């Protein structure tokens, strides 16, 4: 992780539930199971996006469970990996919202380096088994991450996609509740739910409008042509 997260997440990292989570992950690997993303990539979102730089949080559910996909940033895949259906739908909405032509790749690191924290509520998964690492300890840790961002005095936009992500809204004091932040909730962009309100939600333009209104630099959502 970037050192800026160390102090605020120290208690969460040292708690018994985190030790139990690490033991669980070690046992899964020892049993011959594939766990995604690789151990060195699990905290990639917190490595690329320092706490003081966070302007937008995009919160998903758990990592992609297909081989070669997850690399520690929610919804992102490495260069050369075909964008999964959820990301294709994100690109479709971005095009409808801002007119941005989708990139030919699914590598979202450029967003992370601008202050978009690409986080999942659960940060690991067994190969081929979506949701397999829920209720193992990650939720408590990502609660702490959201609380840390929500404690920032500068306005942040929280894009909470899907029911699991939306539970984190309880930790965020929005402008309407006397705080500094904006929460934009929508269904998950997966093919199973995208047509239930994801399409037409306009998260990208709304996020930038809020940032500009509150004196913060907007996000350049257009990705480089090559990842």
Coil/strand/helix, residue 27: helix
What count of other Cβ atoms lies within 10 Å of the Cβ of residue 211?
A: 21
Encode burial over 52-68: b for 16+ CB neighbours within 10 A, e otherwise. ebbbbbbbbbbbbbbee
Q: Per the residue annotation, which of 41, 53, 62, 97 is the catalytic one? A: 62
Nearest CA among 120, 151, 144 for reference residue 57: 120
What's the token pair of residue 91? 């690109």
Distance CA 221, CA 134 (A): 30
DSSP-assigned states of every residue in 90-152:
HHHHHHHHH-PPPPSS---HHHHTTTEEEEESS--EETTBTTTTTTSSHHHHHHHHHHHHHT-
Is 2 an active-site residue? no
CB contact set of 15 (below 8 Å; sequence gap of 6+) = 140
Q: What backbone torsions phi and psi does residue 195 show, to the nearest 5 degrees?
A: -85, 5
Q: Which residues have a catalytic role annotated?
A: 62
């Amino acid at each position: 992780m970037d050192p800026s997260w160390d102090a605020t997440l120290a208690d969460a990292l040292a708690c018994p539930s985190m030790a139990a989570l690490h033991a669980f992950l070690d046992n899964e690997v020892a049993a011959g199971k594939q766990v995604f993303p690789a151990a060195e990539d699990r905290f990639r979102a917190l490595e690329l996006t320092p706490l003081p730089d966070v302007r937008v949080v995009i919160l998903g559910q758990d990592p992609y469970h297909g081989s070669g996909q997850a690399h520690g940033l929610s919804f992102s895949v490495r260069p050369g990996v075909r964008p999964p259906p959820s990301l294709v739908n994100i690109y479709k909405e971005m095009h409808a919202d801002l007119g941005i032509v989708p990139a030919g790749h699914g590598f979202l690191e450029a967003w992370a380096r601008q202050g978009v924290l690409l986080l999942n509520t659960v940060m690991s998964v067994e190969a081929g088994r979506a949701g397999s690492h829920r209720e193992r300890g990650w939720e408590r840790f990502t609660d702490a991450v959201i609380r840390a961002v929500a404690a920032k005095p500068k306005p942040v936009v929280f894009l909470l996609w899907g029911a699991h992500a939306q539970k984190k809204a309880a930790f965020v004091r929005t402008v309407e509740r006397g705080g500094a932040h904006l929460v934009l909730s929508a269904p998950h962009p997966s093919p199973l739910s995208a047509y239930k309100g994801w399409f037409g939600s306009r998260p990208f333009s709304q996020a930038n409008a809020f940032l500009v209104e509150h004196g913060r630099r907007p996000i350049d959502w257009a990705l480089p042509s090559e990842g």
